[in-house]
Amino acid sequence: MTWNPESTDRAKESAEIEALDPVLKQALGDFKESVHAWSDAAYTQARTVRPAARANAWRMAASWSLAAMLIAGATSGGIYMHHERVVASQLAAQQAAEQQRQQAIALAKKQAQEEEEMLASVDTAVSREVPAAMEPLAQLSEESESR
């Protein structure tokens, strides 16, 4: 028997097969049955469907987007914390400067008061009381100054 792809006449094939040796005929029959059994088993077995490459592309794009958002969030959080520290240090410097200014004002007032007291004590120590005989003259000078 020679196989010819152009020959499709099944009647001729079955006649040729019957002319073959019975052992070969049995072997070919068993092979045919095993091929049919394998084919039926392959078609009836449960198959898993692989996701399309397009779904993987969306998943990859979504994961990169999420990673970019996380990096941006972490970076902006760090920048915000640094900004808060800078603002807090500026506020502390302003408060320290205001406190020093108030201390300087209080010290200046205290020194001015001490100078006033010292001048008053010098004035009282230097001044003399008017003698009783000169008192009418002192009153006259006070009246003339008030006019």
The answer as to whether 93 is a domain residue is yes
The answer as to whether 72 is a domain residue is no
Number of domains in the chain: 2
The answer as to whether 22 is a domain residue is yes
Eight-class DSSP state of 132: G
The answer as to whether 105 is a domain residue is yes
The answer as to whether 61 is a domain residue is no
The answer as to whether 94 is a domain residue is yes
pLDDT tens-place string over residues 27-51: 888 999 999 999 998 888 888 877 6
The answer as to whether 63 is a domain residue is no
Structure tokens at 53: 């490459």
Residue 17, domain extent: 11-44
In whole angstroms, what is the distance from residue 26 CA to residue 20 CA? Answer: 10
pLDDT tens-place string over residues 52-85: 666 677 888 899 999 999 999 999 999 999 999 9
CB atoms within 10 A of CB 140: 10
The answer as to whether 88 is a domain residue is yes
